[in-house]
Amino acid sequence: MKINKTKSVTAYGMTFLKKVFQTKSVVLCLLTTTVFFQIQCSSKKTTLDKDESLVVKDIFDPSWLEATEGNMPLVISVPHGGLISPTEIPDRTCGTKEKDDNTNFLAYEISDAFEKQGKKPFLIVSQIARAKIDLNRDMDVATCENPMMYSTWKQYHKYIEAAISKAIEQYGYALYIDLHGQSHPVKRLELGYMLRKSDLESNSVSATAINAKSSLQNLLNMTGNQTLKDLLIGEHALGTFFESNGYPAVPSLQDPYPKSDEAYFSGGYNTRRYTSSDYPKVFGLQIEANYKVRASEANRKQFSEAFVTSITDYLDVLQPLIK
């Protein structure tokens, strides 16, 4: 049998070239794919490195905040008396940085005075300086949008919410007081019910238009038969009890509203938040203690005794009225 060598060689050559071409294509594809993934991986790594360099560490130290459990329906927060000033935290770049001198010590004296009667308020005290965080503002303003302090803000308000929840669970309601200090010329306690001076002046005549604005709206809902005028400047108003125990206060029966040229703090973020309709069993106020009350240990002790008597008398009147 005769074999056509020319045809066989040609067919063999074509087959060989085809295999070589296919092999080169595979190799080329593999090389191209490898390069593509290398580029992708390299690009992703660069992005991650870049993102990681932009991350700001959220810092929280438990020593910056203090929460003490109580055994009565009184929750006291103290946001501006802290002295700890961590160097790794930059000072705030917005708002005031002024601290409320000795308000932390005043809160401890108040707690000690209650303990003599077998009672103890819930205390939430900030030990970190106001220059680093203002815990009587919403988070963005409190931190000046510095994410390093977000956890501190959140934890402070978790402590307040936990105290309020426990007080309500045990007693059915909570009296919330945000404790501050001021040095205004008229030396008296300024009781802030989220009402302006003009509102308080109007309330001495008629309260209808301002009920919903006040931090006592929830109390009005719980009692049913009280008026805002009674609660602010009546015989059994908290300010009236303070006055009767030797500490001038506005508003009260004796001093119903600040004059137009007199400085007065009406309340801030904490009072507005925790006495809102979101917390229907909470009522309260901001107390701005004048400097003389806070100036010395002796003064703080003396005031604390009057504070305990005033709060006790106030709650004794309200307790039977609260539904």
Query: pLDDT digit string (tens) for 182-230?
Result: 999 999 999 999 999 999 998 765 666 688 899 999 999 999 888 999 9
- The model's pLDDT over 127-160, given as tens digits with 9 standing for 90+, comes to 999 999 999 999 999 999 999 999 999 999 999 9
CA 234 – CA 252 distance, rounded (Å): 7
Q: Which domain holds residue 29?
A: 1-55
pTM of the model: 0.83
Total domain count for the chain? 2
CA 189 – CA 250 distance, rounded (Å): 6
Tell me, yes or no, whether 61 lies in a domain: no
CA 163 – CA 123 distance, rounded (Å): 8
CA 61 – CA 85 distance, rounded (Å): 12
Determine the average pLDDT of the residues in 52-74: 86
Q: Which residues of 263-281 are buried (b: 16+ CB within 10 A; e: fewer)?
A: ebebbbbbbbbbbeeebeb
Please report the sign of the dihedral spanned by the C-alpha atoms of residue 129, residue 153, residue 69, residue 115: positive
Tell me, yes or no, whether 208 lies in a domain: yes
Segment among 156-165, 200-209, 258-267, 293-302 with least mean pLDDT: 200-209
22 or 306: which leads in pLDDT: 306
Q: Are residues 45 and 178 in the same domain?
A: no
Segment among 2-11, 47-56, 107-116, 149-158 with least mean pLDDT: 2-11
Q: Are residues 27 and 87 in the same domain?
A: no
CATH of residue 129's domain is 3.40.630.40
Q: Are residues 213 and 268 in the same domain?
A: yes
Scanning the chain, the segments in alpha helix (DSSP H) are 5-54, 103-115, 139-143, 150-171, 197-203, 217-223, 228-233, 238-244, 269-274, 291-294, 297-318
User: If you average pLDDT over every residue of the chain, what do you get?
Assistant: 86
Contacts for 200 with CB less than 8 Å, ≥ 6 apart:
232, 250, 251, 256, 257, 258
Q: Are residues 46 and 97 in the same domain?
A: no
Q: Are residues 145 and 51 in the same domain?
A: no
Share of the chain above pLDDT 70, in %: 81
Tell me, yes or no, whether 304 lies in a domain: yes
Nearest CA among 76, 237, 103 for reference residue 159: 76
